[in-house]
A and B are shown apart, each in its own frame.
Chain A
Amino acid sequence: MPGRKKKAKSETKPAGKRKLPTLSPALKFVLLFLVSLAVLGLAYSHLTAKYHEHMEWLMDATATATGAVVSLFSNSTHYSGKFVSYNGFSVEIIDECTGLLEMVIYLAAVIAFSASIRKKLVGIAAGVPAIYLFNLLRIVVLLVVGSMSKRLFDFMHLYFWQATLILMIATVWIGWLILVVYREKKPVAVSS
């Protein structure tokens, strides 16, 4: 009898204990990621607007580091302040070239992923310098490309922001997941 069956089924589930529909872990991550991104983005723009003068050193340091890397391979490199030139092609390092925006997105991804605080701190401590190095490599490539073709530089410069955004952040974030979050501890050999 279907009626009786239904009743019996409803009796087994006590009222108030019905499970609420849960979000899939991936979707939960996406939502948390967006919220973290909005909060960190706001903090980033407030801080950079307020302390812009104190951030000049980061642009200078990025220009110096780029110049130093390129000068390892060529003598025709000059760098001073925020400017770097290679083979007569000069670029100015501005806020967006420092990799800070990429770091903000990466931080949001680390914060949004369900992991222990310790693992998140490891992710931040190792991931932020890794993104900085990736960004340095991006500028070096752009500088070399620009010295060869201005047209190619424009394309790479415009598109690299979007493409490297995904590649840099995803690489470092997935690296953190594989090397830190899901790293299994090797069992310690016990001698009998």
Chain B
Amino acid sequence: MRKNLWLFLLKLLVFSLALGYLWFSRYQVLYPYWIDGIADPFFRLVGVKKWWLGLVVEHFTNLVPYLALVLASPGLFKHWKRTLIALVGGIAILILGHLLLSWAVYYFHVKYSLSKSFYKIVVPMYIINDALPLVLWLSFFPKLPSELFGFKWPRKANEELRG
């Protein structure tokens, strides 16, 4: 367990740094162009007239820790189907999250401009978006945290209360 844990943490660090460097040096600027094919019809459908990238682009970074978590997870090639599902499904959910965040930011910007009310509503969305990599990783690899860190998911709420 210990060996696996240290290996996982080491891989997580290496992938985080490598992907983070690539993202900030090159792909953060390109990413909005890549998803424009989906973003454009979606924005037209929901009535978004301007993509406020300055207010959301930093939060698109959540792709990096998610990819790092998936790639660092043990059994990358052995359980290649699980890896593929996690990669495709997770990235699709994150992209959808980016589009929804952009929509919300546009909507509330129109309504409140950059006032306190705007941030009151948008900040929780930022928080959820930023925590999404961890949530998705736990959803796609539910057994891994307990294997790596040696804890069990409690079956029932009462089980723990009794213990």
Contact = CB atoms under 8 A, between A and B. Distances in A.
A29 B121 CA distance: 24
A114 B160 contact: yes
Contact of A29 (B16, B21, B138, B161): B138
A14 interface: no
A165 B50 CA distance: 29
A55 interface: no
Given A158-B58, A159-B20, A181-B160, A105 B65 contact: no
Contacts of A161: 58, 61, 130
Interface string B110-134: 0000001101111111011011011
A116 to B, nearest CB: 5
Interface in A3-62: 24-27, 29-30, 33-34, 37-38, 41-42, 44-46, 48-49, 52
The bracket for how many chain A residues form the interface is 35 or more
Please report whether the interface of chain A is mostly helix, strand, loop or mixed according to DSSP. Answer: helix
B115 to A, nearest CB: 9
B65 A181 contact: no
Contact of B155 (A25, A42, A49, A113): A25
Classify the secondary structure of B's interface with A. helix
A46 B120 contact: yes
A27 B139 contact: yes
B23 to A, nearest CB: 8
A122 to B, nearest CB: 13
B156 A24 contact: no
Given A37-B127, A41-B125, 6 more contacts: A44-B123, A45-B120, A155-B24, A155-B25, A158-B58, A177-B149
